[in-house]
A and B are shown apart, each in its own frame.
Chain A
């Protein structure tokens, strides 16, 4: 199957700083990528849908000014957690939809964010 990478795989930052997470589709072009958040022992919650060349669509309750999403190319989407606080600590997962694979979503391995 198609491969999606995320970088970094884990990050620790101080409260008040910003953190950028990258999501890349390595062997296909993805016009649509998704960002999820996963709390310990809980399910994945969709945060936003990232569309190449246009603004992201955020799910209800997700602060778009806090979680900035940029999808500047067909293979890269970034999630920036601005002014991070301890409650933002979580596992962030991206997926990319492959239009040549019946629109199946392929998932990255996730990024563990810890805010001190």
Chain B
């Protein structure tokens, strides 16, 4: 079945550092790809998404590009802030049927001032 693999955490960085969280996927179809963020005590929020190859999703300074050839959707940010501390989930969804989400294991990010 479809699956998502994220780099293991936790990840700890200093403020203004460059961030990369790796995500790769396996899917039989042609899925949409997502990054969700879970701040402490809150529900998951959609951070960004891409629906086809070479699409770049972006939001709040975060970016991720749908790479079909490498089946990847790595999350990047050029300069992180303390407020970016959260758990980040990569996910995929097929476009047919129930459009269920399949999540990676999550990566806990801590940014120190």
Residue numbers of A with Cβ under 8 A of B are: 1, 4, 32, 34, 41-46, 49, 57, 93, 95, 97, 103-105, 107-110
Contact = CB atoms under 8 A, between A and B. Distances in A.
Interface residues of B, number: 18
Interface residues of chain B: helix, strand, loop or mixed (majority): loop
B100 A49 contact: yes
B58 interface: no
A57 B99 CA distance: 13
Interface string B69-113: 000000000000000000001000000001111111110100000
Contacts of B41: 109
A110 B40 CA distance: 12
Contact of A105 (B101, B104, B108): B101
A59 to B, nearest CB: 9
Contacts of B106: 41-43
A64 B36 CA distance: 28
Contact of B43 (A45, A57, A104, A109): A109
Contact of A43 (B45, B98, B104): B104
7 nearest A-B residue pairs (beta carbon): A107-B43, A107-B44, A109-B43, A43-B105, A43-B103, A44-B103, A49-B98
Nearest to A45: B103
A93 B101 contact: no
Most chain-A Cβ atoms within 10 A of its Cβ — which of B41, B42, B100, B104? B100
